[in-house]
Structure 1
Amino acid sequence: MTTVAKKRGITGWKATIAVAMSNYIEAGAIIALATSLTLWQDAFGFDDSLVGVIAAVSANAFGAALGALIGGPLCDRLGRKFIYTYDLILFMIGALMITFTASTGLLILGVVLMGIAVGAGVPASWTYIAEEAPSESRAAHVGTAQLAWSIGPAIGFALAILVEPWGVNGSRMIFFHLFVIAAVTWWVRRGLPESTRWKEQREAELASGVKVSFFSGMRGLLAERKNWGALLFLLGVYGLWNTVAGQAGIFQPRVYEAAGVESATQQNLLQVLVWVLTAAATYFGFMKYGDKISRRWLYFAGALLGVVAWVVLIFAPPGAFSLLFYAVAWGISAGIGAQAFYGLWTAELFATKYRASAQGVLFMLARVMVGLLSLVFPVLLTSMGLAKLGLLIIGLLVAALLIGTIWAPETRGKTLEEIELARYGAKADA
């Protein structure tokens, strides 16, 4: 695709940042709910079981899973721009519902709508950014999505500290801030062009008379045996890690409470530290070095640090040292860890005509895994305690470390077309 080679990255950093805001909004939605679940529980009087259900149907789990299952194939069928133009409208509706909710039912509906919008938007954003990025700086561009994902919680937890005196009404203000961010992002995105690679892929299909349907991307993805190995690899890297990170995102205040920190302000301050360090590690680690040094060993360093962080939090004597060590280590590890590499490798390991469908399938499965554990996590944490539940957490992180380190692909510096040729032996869309 000579035209792609000439135009790669033509939209530049403005487009990268605008599309990456899906990740700020995703993380912001998760943290807004995480910092307010107890407040909503007190206001509306539901029990811990319903807390788990609400967390499970949110942007953290099943809600996003449903959105990804729909959005991935639509992104391959109608284009990347179609998704990132319309998904935020649904998100804004959900955010307004929660802002003004007076009942548990409306709260749940708003959570679900925001989750579906996030699930559709995040895979589309990762796909678009990677397709438009120059091959020599693809990690830097994809890392921008991870950077936005990190800044979202940092701001979210800081806002939770500021509005804490207002209780549940303060949480409403946080959701309204997400509505405003989504509205501004939607306006900026309206002027962005379609992915160059997707347009040329579609033109080639039309010229050859290929009939494209909603299921075309999914059929092409599953029909190629090489894709199954890539799907399993990425599910091992991201799915297992995200099952832990998903509980940390939505239930971390309860984990801190189990570790001895009962003050909501102290819990949120620890989380601000985690996410500020995640953002810093993303920028100074993944974005600066992901295109320059061995990705295998960069991934290994981040994954190992994440394992150590949880070991210290769970098994070290409770106190300031263990909590601060966890916050620093987990924050840095997340910046150069599984999610950043997942966004990069998922774009690289699949052909253009079903790249977004692959993103949708993987994001859906990862969110289902989070959702299944979220359904019972609050109850398990209360009944089993952090030490016993921690063995499951550490086991998942160790598995993700081994899978990502052993089978890390060598794709650094190559164009998406060169990677595709090496993987399939011929152009998958030929």
Structure 2
Amino acid sequence: MAGTRPIPRPLWKAAALSGMASYLDAGLIVSISVNLAVYRDSYDMGVWMAGAISAIVTGCIAVGSLVGGRLADLFGRRRVYNWDIFCFALGALVITLAPDDITLLVGVLVAGLAAGADLPTSLAVVSDAAPSWARGRLVAFTQVMWMLGITVAIFLGFVLSTTGMTGGRLITGQLAVAAIVTWALRSRLKLPDEPPETETGAAPEAISLKGVWTRAALLPMTATFVFYVTWGLGANTFGQFGTYLLVTVSDASQSLATGINLAFIPIGVLLTFAFVRVADSPWRDRLFHVAAVVQILAFVIASLTAGALVGMLVFFVLYQLSNPFAGEANYKVWSQLTLPADTRATTQGLTYALSRGVFAVAAFFTPALADHSPSVLLWTITACMTAAALAGVFIIRVLVPRSARDVPDGADLRVPSTSPAGLPDKEH
């Protein structure tokens, strides 16, 4: 059975190092969220400045995804894979040491661009290295790293909630350290060779751009974009503003707000591991239907209670139970399964970029909208989650079966012998 075939350790290592893109992406967004109230007090920010910071980090991730994915397909995924995480470390250091809000924005700009560039590139790298029977689990494992990034940021936010800016600097400083360590490990990692068109010197831009605008690429690219942008409007809002909303709407203290987030995170982490287990089996898509309904119910409860603390507690339980099976992990796996391999970084970078651009605009207005009417904000998110569920059903019933038929029999079914450095050597 495909979902139970063991995966060699070198491929898990590649997935873990690629998953650091998700760890740092989530860690950056949640760290800004956790620190937002601290930044507001320390830098004397208003609601519009708070919204601007959240919008900039998301907008930069969007631009970085678009540019980074394209550069990876043009000049080599290996090269971009190694250097964008080093740039992230520089940005995270600037954020950590920022003496004022302007310097903070500069650091957010650099770190956001680098994080965005690493997302589609790292997913393409692990997908290139993976045989077809293991691709779902290896790609899904990057979502475990995403959950870990959230967990560490929220845990540190809870532990350091009474330490002000000192705690805020430690929360972002660990991202810089993690990025530097990952850069060192990636630099020594042996990766599969680049696509043939890059190796032979053909014009990759002509091949790649033409491939992007074909029906084979456009349909899955559009469908995965619709799913990710609608689902992500809710997930991104609570990722960036979960603590902020609990403090300003639900009247929770900073410590209670971070504690609530932290208490429910283990549920999400354990279930994300469960998703990895089923990511190459039919249960991946079967569980989506149930989880999508529960996820919608979670937002309905939050909306009906207009963000009251009791309603938010119920929301967090249902959301953590459902999100691992009807969220970003599905988007990552579906994208790698349905998008053409030769332009995978470019096309997924485009869907990431467009989605994060929408998130950035939404983030700019979220604090003001939450201040004006929490109910309107929550019902809008509920509608987005419903649209995401419908898009997911279309992908499952139409695109996934179609992509499975398009894969030649026997393709990617062998695991190459491993090099001394631990990753597969190129097959000849």
Name the amino acid aligned to 1:88. Answer: I
The equivalent of 1:233 in structure 2 is 223
The equivalent of 2:184 in structure 1 is 187
2:122 is the counterpart of 1:125 = yes
The equivalent of 1:98 in structure 2 is 95
Indicate how the Cα distance of structure 1 residues 411 and 258 shifts in structure 2: closer, same or farther if over 3 A, else same: farther
Q: Which of 200, 212, 232 matches 1:242?
A: 232
Name the amino acid aligned to 1:348. Answer: L
Q: In structure 2, what is the Cα distance between the partners aligned to 1:353 and 1:189?
A: 22
Q: 2:62–2:356: 8 Å Cα contact kept in structure 1?
A: yes
Q: 2:158–2:255: 8 Å Cα contact kept in structure 1?
A: yes
Q: How does 1:17-32 map to 2 (within 5 A)?
A: 17-32=16-31
Q: 1:238–1:339: 8 Å Cα contact kept in structure 2?
A: yes
2:134 is paired with a residue whose SS is helix
Q: In structure 1, what is the Cα distance between the partners aligned to 2:312 and 2:55?
A: 26
Instruction: Tell me the CA shift for residue 387 of structure 1.
Output: 1.5
Q: Deviations over 1:58-92 (max 9, x none)?
A: 0xx20101111110111111222112200111111
TM-score (norm 2): 0.88
Q: Which of 356, 361, 382 matches 1:394?
A: 382
2:168 is the counterpart of 1:168 = no
Q: In structure 2, what is the Cα distance between the partners aligned to 1:9 and 1:230?
A: 30
Q: Which of 298, 302, 308 matches 1:313?
A: 302
The equivalent of 1:341 in structure 2 is 330
1:21 is paired with a residue whose SS is helix
Q: Deviations over 1:89-117 (max 9, x none)?
A: 11111111111111111000001111001
Indicate how the Cα distance of structure 1 residues 319 and 225 shifts in structure 2: closer, same or farther if over 3 A, else same: closer
Q: In structure 2, what is the Cα distance between the partners aligned to 1:68 and 1:81?
A: 16
2:370 is the counterpart of 1:371 = no
Q: In structure 1, what is the Cα distance between the partners aligned to 2:66 and 2:87?
A: 16
Q: Deviations over 1:43-69 (max 9, x none)?
A: 1112111111110110xx201011111
2:396 is the counterpart of 1:405 = no
Q: In structure 2, what is the Cα distance between the partners aligned to 1:318 and 1:53?
A: 23
Q: Deviations over 1:258-302 (max 9, x none)?
A: 552421111112211333222111111x11112222443222222
Q: 1:136–1:414: 8 Å Cα contact kept in structure 2?
A: no
Name the amino acid aligned to 1:326. Answer: F
Instruction: Tell me the CA shift for residue 317 of structure 1.
Output: 8.2
Instruction: Tell me the CA shift for residue 391 of structure 1.
Output: 1.5
Q: Percent identity?
A: 25
Q: In structure 2, what is the Cα distance between the partners aligned to 1:253 and 1:392?
A: 19
Instruction: Tell me the CA shift for residue 415 of structure 1.
Output: 9.9
Q: Which of 152, 155, 163 matches 1:155?
A: 152
2:213 is the counterpart of 1:217 = no
Q: 2:51–2:363: 8 Å Cα contact kept in structure 1?
A: yes
The equivalent of 2:421 in structure 1 is none
Indicate how the Cα distance of structure 1 residues 155 and 404 shifts in structure 2: closer, same or farther if over 3 A, else same: same
Name the amino acid aligned to 1:128. Answer: V
Name the amino acid aligned to 1:245. Answer: A
Q: How does 1:263-302 map to 2 (within 5 A)?
A: 263-284=253-274, 286-302=275-291
2:160 is paired with a residue whose SS is helix
TM-score (norm 1): 0.88
Name the amino acid aligned to 2:66. Answer: L
Q: In structure 2, what is the Cα distance between the partners aligned to 1:76 and 1:372?
A: 28
Q: Deviations over 1:152-201 (max 9, x none)?
A: 111111101111221012101111111111111111111222334x4445
2:388 is paired with a residue whose SS is helix
Name the amino acid aligned to 2:176. Answer: F
Q: In structure 2, what is the Cα distance between the partners aligned to 1:276 and 1:412?
A: 36
Higher mean displacement: 21-30 or 130-139: 130-139
Instruction: Tell me the CA shift for residue 397 of structure 1.
Output: 0.2
The equivalent of 1:322 in structure 2 is 311
Q: Deviations over 1:322-353 (max 9, x none)?
A: 33321121112221122111111111222222
Q: In structure 2, what is the Cα distance between the partners aligned to 1:416 and 1:74?
A: 27
Q: 1:297–1:405: 8 Å Cα contact kept in structure 2?
A: no
2:400 is paired with a residue whose SS is coil
Name the amino acid aligned to 1:263. Answer: S
Q: Deviations over 1:13-48 (max 9, x none)?
A: 111111111111111111110011111111111211
For structure 1, the residue ranges without an aligned partner over 5 or more in a row are 1-7, 422-430
Q: 1:85–1:189: 8 Å Cα contact kept in structure 2?
A: yes
The equivalent of 2:113 in structure 1 is 116
Q: In structure 2, what is the Cα distance between the partners aligned to 1:301 and 1:270?
A: 25
Q: Deviations over 1:210-246 (max 9, x none)?
A: 3224x75234202x12322212101111111111111
Q: 2:306–2:375: 8 Å Cα contact kept in structure 1?
A: no
Q: 1:259–1:314: 8 Å Cα contact kept in structure 2?
A: no
The equivalent of 1:15 in structure 2 is 14
The alignment yields a C-alpha RMSD, in angstroms, of 2.4
Q: 2:77–2:121: 8 Å Cα contact kept in structure 1?
A: yes
Name the amino acid aligned to 2:153. Answer: G
Q: In structure 2, what is the Cα distance between the partners aligned to 1:375 and 1:181?
A: 28
Q: How does 1:62-73 map to 2 (within 5 A)?
A: 62-73=59-70
2:52 is the counterpart of 1:53 = yes
Q: In structure 2, what is the Cα distance between the partners aligned to 1:258 and 1:246?
A: 18
Q: 2:88–2:111: 8 Å Cα contact kept in structure 1?
A: yes
Name the amino acid aligned to 1:282. Answer: T
Number of equivalences: 403
The equivalent of 2:422 in structure 1 is none
Name the amino acid aligned to 1:391. Answer: W
Q: In structure 2, what is the Cα distance between the partners aligned to 1:245 and 1:83?
A: 27
Q: In structure 1, what is the Cα distance between the partners aligned to 2:305 and 2:98?
A: 41
Indicate how the Cα distance of structure 1 residues 65 and 15 shifts in structure 2: closer, same or farther if over 3 A, else same: same
Q: 1:26–1:118: 8 Å Cα contact kept in structure 2?
A: yes
The equivalent of 1:202 in structure 2 is 198
Q: In structure 2, what is the Cα distance between the partners aligned to 1:42 and 1:304?
A: 39
Q: 2:34–2:244: 8 Å Cα contact kept in structure 1?
A: no
Name the amino acid aligned to 1:202. Answer: T
1:35 is paired with a residue whose SS is helix
Indicate how the Cα distance of structure 1 residues 415 and 188 shifts in structure 2: closer, same or farther if over 3 A, else same: farther
